[in-house]
Structure formats: C-alpha cells, structure tokens
Amino acid sequence: MQRRDLFRLATAAATATSLPRWGWSATLRQRDLFPLGVASGAPTEDGVVLWTRLLDGPVPGTVPADNPRTALPEALTVRWEVAEDEGFQRIARSGQAQALAALGHSVHVEVNGLRPDRGYFYRFMHGDAVTATARTRTAPPAQALPGRLRFAFASCQRWEHGHYAAYRHMLDEDLDLVLFLGDYIYEYAMPKTPARETLVRTHTLRVAQTLEDYRDRYALYRSDAHLQAAHRACPWLVTWDDHEVHNDYVGLQGQGSPAAFQQRRGAGYQAFFENMPLRASVLAHGPGGLGTPDGVRIYDRHAWGQLLRFHVLDTRQYRDHEACSAQAPRGGVSPQECAELHDAARSLLGQAQERWVEQGLSQDAAGGTRWSVLAQQTLFSQRNHRRAPEQRYSRGTWDGYPASRQRLLDAVRRTPPRNTVWVGGDIHQNCVSRVLADFSDPQSPVIGSEFCGTSITSSSSVTREQAQRLADLNPHIVLSRPDQRGYAVCDVTPQRWTTTLRVLDDVTRADSGITTQARFVVQDGTPGPQSV
C-alpha cells in the first residue's frame, strides 16, 4: 500500500474516536483478542497515544507451523476508556476505534483533552474481552518547571538471548516514562549452530522479510508477560535501529536488489508503526512508499515542561554508507587508510535531520530548557581502538561519521544548551563518557555527558578486558562494561541529573535479581558525569 493511503487510513482510525453504532463491526464473543497487551506513548501536556493489536489464536513462532491462526475480519471495533481512577468510575475520555486488517489489526487512539501532568488509567474492550488495566500519564505544561522526571532507557532485546526480567524490575522503579532506543525486535531465524551464543528461548519463525513476517515477529516479542507489564506501567518514547529491518542496513542500502530491499524496508517500517504507540503523523511525509527515500519520519521532540526536552533521533534511515565498505566490508577503519572516513559530505543523520537537531538545540538554549537530551541509537563518543597516534575506529557508530559528529558538537558549542546529555544503545555495553568539544584534541573542553546503555538481553562478544583496554586508551571514557544486561534509570531535577545503571544477575532466568552496577551524577551547569 502507498504511504498516503496508509496515512489516510491510520489517521482516520486513530482520530475518529466516536463511531456511529451502525459503523461498529460484528463482535467476536468468548475470545481473548488481546494476547499482545496494550501500550501508550508520545505523551503531550493534554494527550497520549493508546495502542493495542488484536490477534486470535496462538502467538506466532511459539507453536508448530501446522497450527494456524484464525483470520480476523477486515475491521473490528474496539471500545476504549481513559479514567482518573483504577475502578473506571471517573471516566475522562472514552470512544470506539477500528482495528483494520490493512494495519495488522493494530489500534492507535490519539487521545486529547486530558489534564496536564497527571496519571490516568486506560483499557480496551471487545465483546466480553477486556484488557488488563494500564497506567499512562500526560506531560507537564510547557511553561512549568517540574521538580522531577524519572525515566528509564533501554535497547536491544533479542528474544532468544534471554528473559525480560529487566522489565519486571522496571515496574519497581516508579517511572514516568520509558525511552526505547532501538533493536526492539531482531529479524533472524533461530541460529542453526547455537554453539556461538547461548540461546535461552526458541521460536519457529523464519527470517523476517515480508510484512507478515515482521508482524509475526512483533507478536512473538509482545507476547512476553514482562514486556507487556512494562508497557502497561507508563508511556514509552520509541525509536529504531537496524534490526527492525535487518542487521547493519544503511539508509537505502541493504540485502538483495535495491527494489527488493526497498520493499523489505517498507515492510519493516510499516510493522514498526503498527506495533508502537506512535502518532499517524509519522506516516505523513513524502509521496512514495514506506521503503522510499522519504520513509517514515520517526525523529521527534518531546518536552517535559521547562525541565527537559528529548530530541529523539533516527540514526539509521538517512545515514550514508559505511566508510570504505566497498574495499573492506568488515572490521574497523583507520583514517590513514580510508580518506572517505573524513569526507565532510557524509552524514549519520542526513542533512535535513542535522539541521533539525541544530535548530532544536538552539531553541533549547534560547528558551531556558534545563536539560537537552539527544536520545539516539548508538555510541556517540570517540573510541580509538589503537594507542595514539595510531587510530582505528568502528564504522557503524558515530566514529564512522566523524564530520557529522563534529557538526553536532560545533552546534552545541556555538549556542550551548544549558545542559546536554546523550543517551544511546546498540553496542550491548554500558559505556559512560565525557563528551569533548573536539575528540581529536584530548585537551578540548567537556561540553556534555554520554550514557550509552547496555542491552535488555542481546549478548556481547566483547570481554571485560577488551572493554577496559578501550577505556584506558580513551581517557574521556569513565566506564566500559560489556558483560552485563539491563537498563538505566535517569532521575532528573532542575539541579541534578542522576543515572543509575541497573544490571541483571542472570539474563537466562526470568526470575533473575538485579543490582546497581554504578551511579553517576551531572550537576546543572557542570558538564560531565561524576561517579558517586
């Protein structure tokens, strides 16, 4: 389907909150059509997106392939309620929404007219089936300076690599928000040679390529009880990385012929929209299909009053090819051997998004936002793998796009926001850094703080010794630990930012305990993480 048709459908489905009775579909009774749970996201000061997706029969990937699912009708009507109380006595908003086959029977409700800075309960209903009651909240008013925001950020949750015990522990963190930074699904079939990695869970899905494949993959992941509980606890902000399509794809370049890849990318993007609490407006841009250069615009800003603003970036969709990938497709790259690495025209964000970030940061500087957060997928700070003056860098992180990184650093330096903090994922390691104004000059000033978080489950092949060696070679790196899975909690007040790195005892166990690996603070007006 073309994007404009999808956009029209999605917008109509998300905003027509009250259908005439004659428009309601037939009701399927005595069936639980909500095995994938519910979610909410993208809170504003007066609204939030509510999400669910209907499915009948067994969750794909968990049963033999000869046990087929029941096909649902083209359209099914669900009812939804948002209430001030858990007993749904004081209803704030309610309505009906359509779950359409064309959108994978997902439901997105863009609720507005809510009061700022307060918690709500919500649920969906169809026939005699009712979802579990979930919590969400609105953001504080634009002009207010709230005393506190407490959020977690997470990334990389390969299903077969572990249990989602991390999400069970998030329930105890009293969070306003969860920020998910990419690799929500992994597209792989089960590895045939499990010797290289520990496989904790097994599924029967083939490698995801078609829209149906991606839909099935999200259904498998979303069937997890711990993940569902984390979505029920608070609203999420989401962005993607590579595995929502396939490993290491770059912009419009991926596996197969250009046409086949474009189709696959479009399928991955549509399934991402269908399965995330996103506004239909992310589909609004450009004339072509979802796989074409205009793609789906998921980069966006989210304010928490004057306290904080998230600039949620997309470092995957618009990036240029990796430097010198034609000559040597794998491994690190050195600037002596690869002139292309420093080509100023290369970008990780694309020109339009680079300008958009710079504008946003100067708005923050002018408007007095306390904390500007660059929420993106991967490691931002430089990591030289060799002893200086020798140099060797990863290609797939910001290290592979140094000119693009320097433009962003220059923008922060030119019109400094009050405080700039980078959060990221992708590398399956906890990595905490001082962000330097110019990483090629170790004496240059610290202008920000970076917290790159470890994975929820996805394994790392890097040893502790290797990670420590990198930290020793790059003195701006203050912590580097690849061996533990978990998430980070950020407690933000006008005076202080505190990041707590939470790590599981054992990712192979659903009942794993959790401990604090390290804690850092950033004081207002003093860039750089300090260990506490």
Q: Can residue 187 be called a binding residue for Ca ion (CB under 5 A)?
A: no
Residue 250 or 341 having the CB closest to Ca ion = 250
Smaller CB distance to Fe ion: residue 99 or 181? Answer: 181
Provide the minimum distance between the beta carbon of 392 and Ca ion in the complex, in angstroms, as a whole number.
20
Strand stretches in 128-211, DSSP E: 129-130, 134-137, 149-154, 177-180
Calculate the alpha carbon distances from 8 to 79, 277, 283, 294 in Å: 21, 17, 9, 17
Is residue 98 within 8 Å of 106, Cβ to Cβ?
Answer: no
373 to 402, contacts with Fe ion by CB under 5 A? none
Q: What is the largest CA-CA distance in the chain?
A: 74
* Nearest residue to Ca ion, by Cβ distance, number only: 241
- Of 183 and 274, the one with the shorter C-beta distance to Fe ion is 183
**SS3 string of 425-479?**
CCCCCEEEEEEECCCCCCCCCEEEEEEECCCCCCCCCCCHHHHHHHHHHCCCEEE
* Distance of closest approach, residue 64 Cβ to Ca ion, in angstroms: 31
Q: Work out what residue 242 binds among Fe ion, Ca ion, none; the CB cut-off runs from 5 to 8 Å by kind.
A: Ca ion
Q: Select the span of 136-144, 242-250, 387-395, 496-504 touching Ca ion (CB under 5 A).
A: 242-250
173 binds, among Fe ion, Ca ion, none (CB under 5 to 8 A by kind): none
Q: Residues in the chain, how many?
A: 532
278 Cβ partners below 8 Å, 6+ apart?
Answer: 41, 42, 49, 108, 238, 298
Radius of gyration (C-alpha) of the chain in whole angstroms: 22
Sign of CA dihedral 225, 49, 487, 211: positive
Residues 148-167 binding Fe ion (CB under 5 A) are: 156
Beta bridge partners of 206: none
Which residues in 76-104 are b (16+ Cβ under 10 Å) and which e?
Answer: bbbbbbbbbeeebeeebbbbbbbbbebbb
The single residue among 160, 242, 314, 320 that binds Ca ion, judged by CB under 5 A, is 242
C-beta atoms surrounding 111 within 10 Å: 26
Which of 183, 216, 274, 399 forms a contact with Fe ion (CB under 5 A)? 183
Encoding tokens for residue 315? Answer: 């470092």
CB of 425 to Fe ion, least distance (A): 7
Judged by CB, which is closer to Ca ion: 305, or 350? 350
List all residues 6 or more positions away from 509 whose beta carbon is below 8 Å from its beta carbon.
163, 165
Does residue number 181 form part of the binding site for Fe ion (CB under 5 A)?
Answer: no
Q: What's the min distance (Å) between Cβ of 187 and Fe ion? A: 11
- 458's contact among Fe ion, Ca ion, none, with CB below 5 to 8 A by partner kind, is Fe ion
Contact of residue 491 among Ca ion, Fe ion, none (CB under 5-8 Å per partner type): none
In angstroms, rounded to a whole number, what is the distance separating the alpha carbons of residues 480 and 484? Answer: 11
Residue placing its CB nearer to Ca ion in the complex, 156 or 333: 156
Calculate the CA dihedral of residues 372, 426, 313, 294 and round it to 10 degrees: 180
Q: Does 458 bind Fe ion (CB under 5 A)?
A: yes
Which one of the spans 43-51, 82-90, 183-191, 292-300 is the region binding Fe ion (CB under 5 A)? 183-191
Part of the chain binding Ca ion (CB under 5 A), chosen from 7-15, 233-241, 349-357, 481-489: 233-241
Could you tell me how many residues of this chain bind Ca ion (CB under 5 A)?
A: 4
Of residues 93 and 485, the one with the C-beta less far from Ca ion: 485
Q: Which residue is nearest to Fe ion (CB)?
A: 156
How far does Cα 310 stand from its chain's mean position?
12
* For Ca ion, the closer CB: 399 or 491: 399
- In the chain, count H helices and then E strands: 8, 22
244 makes contact with Ca ion (CB under 5 A): no
By CB under 5 A, tell whether 244 contacts Fe ion.
Answer: no
The residues that touch Fe ion, with contacts defined as CB under 5 A, are 156, 183, 458
The residues that touch Ca ion, with contacts defined as CB under 5 A, are 183, 241-242, 426
